[in-house]
């Protein structure tokens, strides 16, 4: 019984994680004395080698000797009434809310999220 519960827990945790939107940016190295000290992102900002940060688009990124890996830090709502409701992204909280189109004070139920 414990084994079945453990398997279900692993499945429940891994399924949402598998939908994360990720991308890879090949290394644009910053070199000092012939040694790679960091990565330059698409905005030209330097990040130290092996550092982690959240960018302005709410992606969690890391710098390695290969380049920059970034994955979304948020879930995107997809299972809601799109005729009656709309999703609004808040860059300060890196999250969506789903509200009625005619009254943004009324939240709509969401039945499915990805990311």
Question: Looking at 7-11, 72-76, 94-98, 111-115, which range is the least confident one?
Answer: 7-11
User: Where in the sequence of the chain do the CATH 2.20.25.590 domains occur?
Assistant: 76-114
The domain 19-72 belongs to what CATH superfamily? Complement Module, domain 1 (2.10.70.10)
pLDDT at residue number 5: 41
pLDDT at residue number 43: 86
HEC letters along 9-76: HHHHHHHHHCCCCEEEEECCEEEECCEEEEEECCCCCEEECCCEEECCCCEEEEECCCEEEEEECCCE
Is pLDDT above 50 for 18? Answer: no
Distance of CA 6 to the CA centre of its chain: 26
Position 13 confidence tier, pLDDT thresholds 50, 70, 90: very low
68, 25 in Cβ contact below 8 A? yes
pLDDT at residue number 15: 40
The torsion angles phi and psi of 54, rounded to 5 degrees, stand at -110, 125
Tell me the per-residue pLDDT of 51-110, one tens digit each, with 9 for 90 and over: 999 999 999 999 999 999 999 999 999 999 999 999 999 999 999 999 999 999 999 999
The label of the residue with tokens 């890879």 reads 24
User: Where in the sequence of the chain do the CATH 2.10.70.10 domains occur?
Assistant: 19-72
Assigned CATH for 76-114: 2.20.25.590
């Amino acid at each position: 019984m414990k084994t079945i519960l453990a398997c279900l827990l692993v499945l429940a945790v891994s399924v949402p994680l598998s939908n994360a939107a990720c991308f890879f940016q090949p290394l644009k190295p910053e070199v000092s004395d012939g040694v790679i000290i960091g990565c330059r992102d698409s905005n030209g900002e330097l990040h130290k080698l092996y550092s982690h940060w959240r960018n302005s688009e709410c992606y969690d990124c890391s710098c390695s000797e290969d380049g920059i890996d970034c994955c979304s830090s948020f879930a995107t709502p997809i299972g809601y009434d799109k005729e009656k409701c709309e999703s609004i992204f808040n860059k300060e909280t890196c999250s969506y809310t789903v509200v009625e189109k005619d009254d943004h004070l009324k939240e709509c139920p969401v039945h499915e999220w990805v990311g």
